[in-house]
Amino acid sequence: MPAWTLINCSQPLTVMRSALFAREVIQLAFAADPESSGLVLRTYKLRVDRSKANHVGIIRTQLAQREAVTDGEKAELSLDLYRRVIEGQFRPWAWTLLQLRGRSGSRLPELSALRDQLIADKHRVLKHAADALLPAVRNAAAHEDFLWDEVLEKIQVGESVTTVEEVEEATMRAYEFMMGCELAIVSCLSESDALVSAMSLEDPVDGSRTINLGAAINMFGTNGLQVRSHRLDRGLFTVELEEWPPDRINPGFQALITGAKILQQAERFQVRITGQDTLAVDLPRGPLDANFSVWRQASTHFFLMPPSTFLPVNVAARIEVEGREQAARSATRLALTDALEALSLLESKDRRYLKKAWSHVSARFSLIEHSFKVTKETCQLHGSSDIDEALKRIERLAKELSKQPQDVAVPFLASLVKGIEKNWEAIDPVSVFPLVDDTPV
């Protein structure tokens, strides 16, 4: 995220200068007085829900700017955007840094006083930030006490005038200062467990709704998926993806499973793909929570998650499309495909390689067995002969593979493998996840 922010901002050097300054301020203050500086930073952190609401307003105003027709409308919206950025994003961070540098006070100062304090500090970064503060413009925006002069093409505020370009420049300067501060705190938290603990002392029992929501959304980005929009409303979490490529199906499930663990406030989870009418995923919490135990087992043994890691949530989601009977066959085919792929690793004649591969295949079969059982219970796939027969064969193979290679009867192992192959061939090919890509594999 920090690198992406720097690459995509309009003035990366300005953002970087603010980030380096803010990081130094935070680190020096926390080293000198962890208790007092921790309190200051916690106070800032606990404003995050208000900051989120402000940010939503910023986005709404920017969207309105794109639709504005007249110069007067554009001027009014530029003032509104400036007020939102200054009040909700810039002012809290400016006051936080001033407090960490020795200023005291029980509440956020008014803009005129804040500007005076930034200038009085005499640090060039804060003096540069102070130039973003235009108290008269902010007050005019807040009280709608301004006029658009069509002749001069300027905004008249009291006895003075300003241009839309000047307002936009001040807005960008304030926003870039805030971006630098946000990058700084991310860097500091990543380097100091003590700071993390200090800033978490007064967290709500279930965590901050805004922070949890942000962390859940970030799970999609870390799994290579771009989120277009998201919402958490009355227990329903909805995310819209720009696209969900076939090679990102399981990473998408991973984002959902880990995101649900973070987002305890949500009871139902939906995934949309831009341009598609039907939901790609529409699930209650149950299958995601059930799948988490499988994911946790996989994460302790594998760097790359085997396909069966996500079998419970995959099958739960596809039931709505395929029906329970076909979903049972799909679950069986996918589990057996994973099993055969794992067994193919034992075809080498290199003994040293086989010794390493054996432990990998053993762990993988243990995972497939666990995942298959969880899928059967979670999705209520009882009475399916395909599942029952395949599960018995996987259980037997998992038991044999848990032994040391020298203790395994090769003919018996071979007969078990042939049984797996027979089961697999008896089921028609299925897609990995039909709601994203219906190509059989």
Which tens digit of pLDDT belongs to each residue from 31-57? 999 999 999 999 888 887 777 777 788
Tell me the pLDDT band of 399, cut-offs 50, 70 and 90.
very high
Cβ-contact 9, 179 below 8 angstroms: yes
What percent of the chain shows pLDDT beyond 90? 59
What would the two tokens of residue 11 be? 């003035």
d(CA 21, CA 179): 12
Per-residue DSSP letter, 86: I
Point out the least confidently predicted range of 20-34, 70-84, 317-331, 354-368: 70-84
Domains and their CATH numbers in the chain: 2-199 (no CATH), 209-284 (3.30.70.2210), 290-440 (no CATH)
What would the two tokens of residue 436 be? 């994203």
Closest of 435, 358, 429 to residue 400, by C-alpha = 358
DSSP conformation letters of 300-357 = HH-SSPPGGGGHHHHHHHHHHHH-HHHHHHHHHHHHHHHHHHHHGGG----HHHHHHH
Q: What is the pLDDT of residue 55?
A: 78
Q: Are strands 147-149 and 160-162 parallel, antiparallel or unpaired?
A: unpaired
What is the average per-residue pLDDT within 256-282? 94
283: region left, alpha or beta (phi > 0 left; psi from -120 to 50 alpha)? beta
More confident residue, 70 or 241: 241
pLDDT per residue over 150-178, tens digit each? Answer: 877 888 877 777 888 888 898 999 999 99
Whether 307 has a pLDDT exceeding 60, the answer reads yes
DSSP conformation letters of 87-127 = IIIIHHHHHHHHHHTT---SSPPPHHHHHHHHHHH--HHHH
What does pTM read for this prediction?
0.72
pLDDT per residue over 57-98, tens digit each? Answer: 888 888 888 888 888 888 889 888 988 899 888 999 999 999
Q: What is the pLDDT of residue 128?
A: 93
Instruction: State the average pLDDT for the chain.
Output: 89
Q: What is the pLDDT of residue 1?
A: 45
